[in-house]
Structures are given as C-alpha cells and as structure tokens.
C-alpha cells in the first residue's frame, strides 16, 4: 500500500514537471515571436509569466522534498525525485533567458532590423524542441531519445557561430549597426544557453535510467569540432 501511494505521488510530481515544461516551451516560443513580430503585448506577457515559472519551481521543490521526508524513497524512486529537483532549476534558468529575450524585444521594438531574422527563429525552434524532447525522454525513460539532444545542441551551436559571424560583419560595415547587432547577438547567446540547459535535462534522464552521469554538452562541443 505504501509503495502504491508513493508511485501515485511520483506520477503527480512528474505531471507537475510536465506542466512547468509546457509553460516553458510556450515562453520560448513567445519570446522569439514577440521579437520577430515586434509584439510588445506578447513580450510583456513573457516577462509576467516568469513569476509563474518561479512559483511552479518552488511548489514542485516543496512537494519533492516532502516526499523525501515523509516517504523515504529508495533506489530509483529517490533518483527520480533528485532528477526532478535538478530539472526544475534548469527549466527556471531557461525561463530567465526567455525573459531576457523579451526584454531585448521591447528595447528593439521601434528599430528597423538590420537584417531579416531567420537564424534566430531557427535557434528558438530548436531550443523549444529540445525541451519537449527532454521531457518526453523523461516520461518514457528513453535514453536513446535523450541522447539525440547532442545533435540538436551541436546544430544550435553551429547556428550561433553563423549568427556571430554575420552580425560581426554588419558591425564592421557600419558602426551604427553595433548596438542592435550586439543586442541580437545577446539573443542568440541566450538561446545557446537554453540549449545547454536542455542537454542538462537529457543528462538527468540518463542518470534516472542508468544511475550514471554523462556530460552531453561536452559531447556536443566535441562533435561540433572539425576533424
């Protein structure tokens, strides 16, 4: 009976994590969309929802710690709780980056972009998909799915390098481009960091399944280097 109750509580904990992940995915999508569309209402919504993400993190942490104190889980059940506690930290930090992108969108809203925003939305889509894939890997306890985050992270870093080179050329062409190019480069940097946190989620899935830690960011960086 006790184990059944713990199993139910753990399922509810995973459901709460899934809700937080869905809101995070929405935040990532809207942060890029408000930048591209110059939608100030949406940007302000992203900023406001950051508080909701923070509240969800604290509530999940409270429930997870309560399970440890009251149910004294062992083995894989304890690993699951540890994984959830780590994941909510990474997810909250990703939400912070989304908020920063929304703030930049507000700062740039009255400016004509120096170039069409093509690769930044591509980065945003990849980052959003990485979060979705990591959470799905957790739900299914699928280590193979978690490992696919390595290739997505490498793709994200490749796009960041491309954006960096392109924006640098705009800065060199005209010094007036420097403030906006710098702001857009910051956006790309936030997205690259979101990818790092998403691979951290994948690492937690591997830890849950295998009981071992693996540095997926390190693997992604290595795979992205020329041979």
What are the pLDDT digits (tens) for 122-142?
999 999 999 999 999 999 999
- Torsional sign, CA 131, 149, 94, 170: negative
Secondary structure letter of residue 227 according to DSSP: -
* Spacing of C-alpha 20 from chain mean position: 11
What's the Cα-to-Cα distance from 129 to each of 53, 63, 73, rounded to whole Å? 19, 27, 32
145 has a pLDDT exceeding 90: yes
pLDDT band at 96 (very low <50, low <70, confident <90, very high): very high
Give the residue-averaged pLDDT of 204-223. 77
- pLDDT at site 226: 40
Q: What is the mean pLDDT of the chain?
A: 91
Q: Which residue has the tokens 């979060």?
A: 131
Indicate the domain borders of the chain.
2-223
The answer to whether residues 175 and 181 touch, using CB atoms and an 8 Å cutoff, is no
- pLDDT at site 227: 31
Per-residue model confidence as pLDDT tens digits over 104-125: 999 999 999 999 999 999 999 9
- pLDDT at site 122: 96
Coil, helix or strand at residue 160 = helix
Choose among 174, 151, 131: nearest CA to 28.
131
pTM of the model: 0.90
- pLDDT at site 210: 86
- pLDDT at site 2: 52
For the 2-223 domain, the top CATH level (class) is mainly alpha
Cα within 13 Å of Cα(8), Cβ side: 5
């Amino acid at each position: 009976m006790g184990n059944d109750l713990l199993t139910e509580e753990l399922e509810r904990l995973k459901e709460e994590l899934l809700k937080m992940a869905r809101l995070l995915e929405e935040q990532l999508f809207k942060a890029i969309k408000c930048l591209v569309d110059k939608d100030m209402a949406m940007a302000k919504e992203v900023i406001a929802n950051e508080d909701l993400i923070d509240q969800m993190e604290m509530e999940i942490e409270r429930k997870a710690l309560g399970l440890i104190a009251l149910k004294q889980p062992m083995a894989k059940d304890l690993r699951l709780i540890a994984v959830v506690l780590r994941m909510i930290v990474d997810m909250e930090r990703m939400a912070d980056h989304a908020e920063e992108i929304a703030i930049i969108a507000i700062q740039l809203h009255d400016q004509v972009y120096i170039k069409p925003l093509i690769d930044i939305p591509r980065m945003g889509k990849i980052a959003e998909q990485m979060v979705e894939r990591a959470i799905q890997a957790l739900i299914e306890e699928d280590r193979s799915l978690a490992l696919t985050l390595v290739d997505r992270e490498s793709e994200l870093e490749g796009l960041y390098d491309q954006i960096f080179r392109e924006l640098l050329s705009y800065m060199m062409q005209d010094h007036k481009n420097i403030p906006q190019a710098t702001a857009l480069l910051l956006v790309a940097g936030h997205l690259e960091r979101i990818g790092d946190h998403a691979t951290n989620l994948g690492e937690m899935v591997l830890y849950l399944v295998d009981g071992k830690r693996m540095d997926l960011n390190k693997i992604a960086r290595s795979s992205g280097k020329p041979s």
